[in-house]
Chains A and B, each alone.
Chain A
């Protein structure tokens, strides 16, 4: 009898609480308010225009939690359903936007929320008289919290994207709409800088940004609001953006300042959208849930084991689309554009649970969100997929009405993919693989012979006898000398260190004094052990790894030492071949277990030039080896005989803060590799790393403090040790940590090697900068990638220098530029003889173009009639560009941004100008280098799809000109305007 009374009382209390007052259940805490500022704006301060987010603790673990926003009449304004975590917490969930003001759009939207407002004025009038009730409850009925609130008339400054009438518009068509920004409640007469910046989920002070557009407006003395154009129609900057407003502050620094107004923080400010028609409706669909419950973000990359979600942004639905509001999401293996252009190609879902039928047209993207693939994975290390939004045989407006047709219907169904991969599922290239790792040490004082003068001419004979190496291999169990794992033979990765002190006076004792040999074995510094961190991961993935010592060569500084290093590499490869073919290895382990048909080389510093020499010497080596990939890390380029990789794919990893090879001479090895006209060219790539030094790619060369564990070996220093000076206030100061630097080496070298040794071709996209490994500091790595299959329209290599004629003998025009001339981009040690006039700001060795402009100018390079006009066999327009500055003392400067377009013989041009910043930055020279104003080329790869989408009618078989329009004022070096893959 007592129980019903208690229950009635509880219900009564709960009802009263629900009916009139704020209420919080025991043990529950709730924070609600606008999340778009630096800190959460609480409900009592909420102003019209603000959004609402909720987070709480104290729910039942794993409970379904509903959030409902209603007015006094019981009308529902917003609803969200989330799940609490294992501790009963619900992270911040954004679920009501801009106080119910939905503004306007030029798109046809099938669903319009009711109630909602068109303008902020309407909202203010409504909330003058009405309050809202936020109810948070568990789905079984337990009320967790109730809050009553009323957004007040806005008094604080407010900036929002709008149309020209000042009505909120948070999605515009980049093709034919201009974006305006409107402001309210600003100080009278204020000066407002406006920046359109790529959307971030939450901003903090000092976050850098690269503005896609900007403008400054000064209000009249008594005026406190404005509407101004921020982005003109026809701009080529599709994407999601926020607006940063800086009021009465002349500082133009491209970073968030403390009083900047951000529209919006956790919510997207504005979407500038495009639709590729071209017969196909190409959208972004695949994505993931971010670290807030209701936050969905598009993504093209998912590590194995991640859940892949799909969603349809309402702005991506074409006007007049005839499909229903429900569709099936198919996750299919990536197919070529030709496949999708076929007649109703069939669909085969690979996600394991078939296609998901779900709502795809809704006013909010979150209403279309659905999990497509739980714990996505596949056997291959990396694979590509497309998402098809299939509208079925008849329009369906609920799931029950959907009638499957299991085919892709071009123009009706949506596709996330088409010519590009929709999304990738990959394991980290540096992931620990399924194999245990065995280790053996090779040490034979007479293990090597024959490193002599290669030509038998006049060079010195190298007294190299010491055979010393560390070997890591796939094993049945981890340990020393354990059996090789079944599944071989395994491809080979060979590592070669560079020049470094060879002897430590007390060996592995505590002293750190040393020098160059000779010395006893116990005193020899094991530089070759410094790459264990890469070998360990590769070996676990099924790669036979060996790192060899060049101890006997270390003392030397002469012209033949690179040759000797190259021969040492080949000698060891000979040895491995004997081990696997003849079973002559000292441990009796490797007979038949080493796959000598796939060999990759990695060399560091002089070892980098040594592996380049090895690939060159291999051409005439008796019984040559099958070297398929060469990686040079911070290499030298001092060999008087050999200067480029002749046959293997090449990856140059080079550090901008290098205090040893501080003149960046390694860049020249990239420039010289695979020139135009060479047969059987391979891909080449450069990763140019801001903040990385010379030594820290090798753990033996990293001092204890930066390594994070004891290193007893002499010579371990931060090679960029010079302090700031008057011209370089940041010299050597902008330091990447050793661990982060090693991760760059680990992620990229493993990707490069697994691409070439294991056929995991998807890892190529790490080097194209399409796939950014989550573990890596991608923001500080600038990529250049040139495929072996490419054709130069202008590589500027023709002499005498003539900027007005390109490589294919087309006319080049550049009126209005302050500088427009070809130069050797080089600061010494050129391979051009005799050297033409040079620009020594660049540390490359290539002929390029100097361009300088004080105001935006137009550069056009024409393609004469002939085969060069057909670029349809390529996928990308590529070029290399580097910013040059001569200003001292060095100070932070903006990136250079170029806009690019193609034109065919009928005058068709891409609807959108390609903005280079969307593909790769052309950054300000790194300020932390030992050398001031280190101008360096980085690569821009623009998909040709960019120029053909939206029915541009651009004919890729008949391209007649490439146009580049500069922005701002700057000086650059330009090279290798090419079509490639």
Chain B
């Protein structure tokens, strides 16, 4: 069931993102969700706002060509509602890239939050109306690890 939800969510993110694509370099990246697991870290992971011991770890897959056509310096941030997640890892394969994100505050997610992967940092928070039609976060995709 989780796999089905994740697949449907991934397809929706990809469709909406591609519909937004313009001739200029893309600002958003269509992705598929590979996994969403809660992990515990020992020792805790560092961050600007202190360390965290547990986080929702999201692994997203994107087409490498599209990823390489993004502006080279600005990273794609994943927004889940008002949660702003910076990529923790980037794994390159021949034609795909896997992005890993951590959300230490995942317990505050209620479900229904808009999910956007974009280089326009902050935009999904400050101009959320623009993303009304985007896919929503569903806690059912989370699995304990």
Stretch at the interface among A239-247, A584-592, A826-834: A826-834
Stretch at the interface among B1-9, B72-80, B131-139: B72-80
Contact, CB under 8 Å: B123 / A638: no
For this complex, into which size category does the number of interface residues on chain B fall? 20 to 34
The verdict on A638 contacting B47 (CB below 8 Å), with A828-B121, A828-B123, A828-B125 known, is no
Contact, CB under 8 Å: B71 / A659: yes
| CB-defined contacts of B47 to chain A, threshold 8 Å | 640-641
Contact, CB under 8 Å: A559 / B72: no
Residue of A455, A500, A640 near B86 (CB, 8 A) is A640
Contact, CB under 8 Å: A605 / B43: no
| CB-defined contacts of B87 to chain A, threshold 8 Å | 557-559
A511-538 with Cβ < 8 A to chain B = 515-516
Within the complex, the shortest CB–CB distance from B35 to chain A, in Å, comes to: 16
B20-62 with Cβ < 8 A to chain A = 24, 41, 43, 45-49
Contact, CB under 8 Å: B121 / A829: yes
| CB-defined contacts of A516 to chain B, threshold 8 Å | 68, 92
| CB-defined contacts of A719 to chain B, threshold 8 Å | 71
A578-606 with Cβ < 8 A to chain B = 605-606
| CB-defined contacts of A499 to chain B, threshold 8 Å | 72-73
Within the complex, the shortest CB–CB distance from A338 to chain B, in Å, comes to: 45
Residue of B41, B86, B89, B122 near A663 (CB, 8 A) is B122
Give A829's nearest chain B residue, CB to CB: B121
Contact, CB under 8 Å: A829 / B73: no
The distance in angstroms between the C-alpha atoms of A286 and B47, with both chains bound, is 55
Residue of B24, B41, B72, B84 near A501 (CB, 8 A) is B72
B72-112 with Cβ < 8 A to chain A = 72-77, 84, 86-90, 92, 99-100
The distance in angstroms between the C-alpha atoms of A460 and B89, with both chains bound, is 7
| CB-defined contacts of B68 to chain A, threshold 8 Å | 515-516
| A431: Cβ under 8 A from any B Cβ | no
| A555: Cβ under 8 A from any B Cβ | yes
| CB-defined contacts of B123 to chain A, threshold 8 Å | 827-828
The distance in angstroms between the C-alpha atoms of A721 and B73, with both chains bound, is 16
| CB-defined contacts of A507 to chain B, threshold 8 Å | none
The distance in angstroms between the C-alpha atoms of A840 and B123, with both chains bound, is 9
- A754-774 vs B: 1/0 string, CB under 8 Å? 000000000000000000000
Within the complex, the shortest CB–CB distance from A726 to chain B, in Å, comes to: 14
Within the complex, the shortest CB–CB distance from A886 to chain B, in Å, comes to: 13
| CB-defined contacts of A643 to chain B, threshold 8 Å | 48
Contact, CB under 8 Å: B49 / A840: no
A-B contact count (CB 8 A): 102
| CB-defined contacts of A636 to chain B, threshold 8 Å | 73-75
| CB-defined contacts of A722 to chain B, threshold 8 Å | 24
| A838: Cβ under 8 A from any B Cβ | yes
Contact, CB under 8 Å: A838 / B126: yes
Give B123's nearest chain A residue, CB to CB: A828
Contact, CB under 8 Å: A661 / B73: yes
| CB-defined contacts of A665 to chain B, threshold 8 Å | 74, 121
| A662: Cβ under 8 A from any B Cβ | yes
| CB-defined contacts of B49 to chain A, threshold 8 Å | 831, 833
The verdict on A457 contacting B43 (CB below 8 Å), with A660-B73, A829-B121, A838-B126 known, is yes
Contact, CB under 8 Å: B73 / A840: no
By DSSP majority rule, is chain A's interface helix, strand, loop, or mixed? loop
Within the complex, the shortest CB–CB distance from B113 to chain A, in Å, comes to: 16
| CB-defined contacts of B100 to chain A, threshold 8 Å | 558
| CB-defined contacts of B41 to chain A, threshold 8 Å | 457-458
| A470: Cβ under 8 A from any B Cβ | no
| CB-defined contacts of A556 to chain B, threshold 8 Å | 90
Within the complex, the shortest CB–CB distance from A326 to chain B, in Å, comes to: 64
Contact, CB under 8 Å: A829 / B122: yes
Contact, CB under 8 Å: A458 / B45: yes
Residue of A555, A560, A642, A829 near B84 (CB, 8 A) is A829
The distance in angstroms between the C-alpha atoms of A660 and B76, with both chains bound, is 12
Give A665's nearest chain B residue, CB to CB: B121
| CB-defined contacts of B24 to chain A, threshold 8 Å | 721-722
The verdict on A640 contacting B48 (CB below 8 Å), with A499-B73, A829-B84 known, is yes
Within the complex, the shortest CB–CB distance from B72 to chain A, in Å, comes to: 5
- A485-520 vs B: 1/0 string, CB under 8 Å? 000000000000011110000000000000110000
The distance in angstroms between the C-alpha atoms of A722 and B77, with both chains bound, is 22
Within the complex, the shortest CB–CB distance from A511 to chain B, in Å, comes to: 17
Give A516's nearest chain B residue, CB to CB: B68
Contact, CB under 8 Å: B84 / A662: no
Within the complex, the shortest CB–CB distance from A130 to chain B, in Å, comes to: 71
The distance in angstroms between the C-alpha atoms of A828 and B121, with both chains bound, is 6
| A694: Cβ under 8 A from any B Cβ | yes
Most chain A CB within 10 A, of B72, B77, B89, is at: B72
| CB-defined contacts of B88 to chain A, threshold 8 Å | 459, 558-559, 640
| CB-defined contacts of B48 to chain A, threshold 8 Å | 640-643, 831
Give A455's nearest chain B residue, CB to CB: B46
| CB-defined contacts of A640 to chain B, threshold 8 Å | 46-48, 86, 88
Most chain B CB within 10 A, of A515, A558, A642, A663, is at: A558
Give A607's nearest chain B residue, CB to CB: B73
Give B67's nearest chain A residue, CB to CB: A557
The distance in angstroms between the C-alpha atoms of A141 and B92, with both chains bound, is 87
Give B85's nearest chain A residue, CB to CB: A640
| CB-defined contacts of B90 to chain A, threshold 8 Å | 555-558
Within the complex, the shortest CB–CB distance from A455 to chain B, in Å, comes to: 6
| CB-defined contacts of A460 to chain B, threshold 8 Å | 89
Give B71's nearest chain A residue, CB to CB: A660
Within the complex, the shortest CB–CB distance from B56 to chain A, in Å, comes to: 15
Within the complex, the shortest CB–CB distance from B94 to chain A, in Å, comes to: 12
- A631-651 vs B: 1/0 string, CB under 8 Å? 000001010111100000000
Within the complex, the shortest CB–CB distance from B86 to chain A, in Å, comes to: 5
Residue of A459, A559, A663, A833 near B121 (CB, 8 A) is A663
Contact, CB under 8 Å: B122 / A455: no
Most chain B CB within 10 A, of A498, A516, A828, A831, is at: A828
| CB-defined contacts of A500 to chain B, threshold 8 Å | 72
Contact, CB under 8 Å: A641 / B46: yes
| CB-defined contacts of A501 to chain B, threshold 8 Å | 72
Give B120's nearest chain A residue, CB to CB: A663
The distance in angstroms between the C-alpha atoms of A459 and B91, with both chains bound, is 12
Within the complex, the shortest CB–CB distance from B77 to chain A, in Å, comes to: 7
Residue of B46, B67, B77 near A829 (CB, 8 A) is B77
Contact, CB under 8 Å: B73 / A605: yes
The distance in angstroms between the C-alpha atoms of A455 and B51, with both chains bound, is 12
| CB-defined contacts of B76 to chain A, threshold 8 Å | 557
| CB-defined contacts of A721 to chain B, threshold 8 Å | 24
Give B50's nearest chain A residue, CB to CB: A833
The distance in angstroms between the C-alpha atoms of A715 and B47, with both chains bound, is 32
The verdict on A827 contacting B126 (CB below 8 Å), with A457-B41, A558-B87 known, is yes
The distance in angstroms between the C-alpha atoms of A556 and B88, with both chains bound, is 11
The distance in angstroms between the C-alpha atoms of A605 and B45, with both chains bound, is 26
Contact, CB under 8 Å: A662 / B74: yes
The distance in angstroms between the C-alpha atoms of A663 and B127, with both chains bound, is 14
The distance in angstroms between the C-alpha atoms of A555 and B73, with both chains bound, is 11
The distance in angstroms between the C-alpha atoms of A694 and B86, with both chains bound, is 22
| CB-defined contacts of B84 to chain A, threshold 8 Å | 828-829
The verdict on A457 contacting B73 (CB below 8 Å), with A557-B87, A827-B121 known, is no
Residue of A457, A458, A559, A828 near B122 (CB, 8 A) is A828
| CB-defined contacts of B77 to chain A, threshold 8 Å | 828-829
Most chain A CB within 10 A, of B45, B71, B73, B126, is at: B73
The distance in angstroms between the C-alpha atoms of A560 and B87, with both chains bound, is 9
A884-898 with Cβ < 8 A to chain B = none
Contact, CB under 8 Å: B45 / A457: yes
The verdict on A557 contacting B43 (CB below 8 Å), with A515-B68, A828-B121, A828-B123 known, is no
Give 5 new A-B contacts, CB below 8 A, not counting A455-B43, A555-B90.
Answer: A457-B43, A499-B72, A660-B73, A662-B71, A840-B122
**What are 6 A-B contacts defined by CB distance under 8 Å?**
A499-B72, A499-B73, A516-B68, A557-B99, A606-B73, A719-B71
Q: Which 10 A-B pairs have the closest CB atoms?
A: A828-B122, A828-B121, A840-B126, A557-B90, A827-B122, A558-B90, A558-B89, A660-B71, A833-B49, A605-B73
